[in-house]
């Protein structure tokens, strides 16, 4: 299965600032996704990162708050903008090779906003 590296693993940020999370995969993958997991909750999909075009956002998530880049088939970034304490969560990158293959996850970024 693909090896997924996510950076940073954790961070503590000030209210109003922005943080960019990186996701690097060791092989080319068709699909890359970004999820949020709030404390004690299950995973919620933020968006699908599309290579070479704008990401596809789920209801309740907007590009101004969560801009996403995917310049190639092995790398994506998620930025959490103008952070507030409500953004304190674990943010997870996942990948899928397509064709009914399993989806695999990075170790996540644990983000705390003061």
Partner 1 sequence: KQEVTQIPAALSVPEGENLVLNCSFTDSAIYNLQWFRQDPGKGLTSLLLIQSSQREQTSGRLNASLDKSSGRSTLYIAASQPGDSATYLCAVKNSGYSTLTFGKGTMLLVSP
Sites of contact with partner 1 (CB under 8 A)? 1, 6, 33, 41-43, 45, 48, 90, 92, 94, 98-108, 110
Closer to partner 1 by CB, 16 or 102: give it: 102
Q: How far is the CB of 16 from partner 1 (least distance, A)?
A: 26
Separation between Cα atoms, residue 76 and residue 88, nearest integer Å: 21
Closer to partner 1 by CB, 63 or 82: give it: 63
* Pairing assessment for the beta strands 89-96 and 103-105 based on DSSP bridges: antiparallel
Is the separation of the CB atoms in 109 and 90 below 8 Å?
A: yes
Helix (H) or strand (E) holding 70: strand 68-72
Q: How far is the CB of 82 from partner 1 (least distance, A)?
A: 25
Give me the half-sphere count of Cα atoms (radius 13 Å) on the Cβ side of residue 84: 2
Closer to partner 1 by CB, 45 or 73: give it: 45
State both tokens at 9. Answer: 């693993």
Closer to partner 1 by CB, 6 or 77: give it: 6
Q: How far is the CB of 24 from partner 1 (least distance, A)?
A: 14
């Amino acid at each position: 299965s693909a090896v997924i590296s996510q950076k940073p693993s954790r961070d503590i940020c000030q209210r109003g600032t922005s943080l960019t999370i990186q996701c690097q995969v060791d092989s080319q993958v068709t699909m890359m996704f970004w999820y949020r997991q709030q404390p004690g909750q299950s995973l919620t999909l933020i968006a699908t990162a599309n290579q070479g075009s704008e990401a596809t956002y789920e209801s309740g998530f907007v590009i101004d708050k969560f801009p996403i880049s995917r310049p190639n088939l092995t790398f994506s970034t998620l930025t959490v903008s103008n952070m507030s304490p409500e953004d304190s969560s674990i943010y997870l990158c996942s990948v899928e090779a397509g064709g009914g293959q399993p989806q695999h996850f990075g170790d996540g970024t644990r983000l705390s906003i003061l």
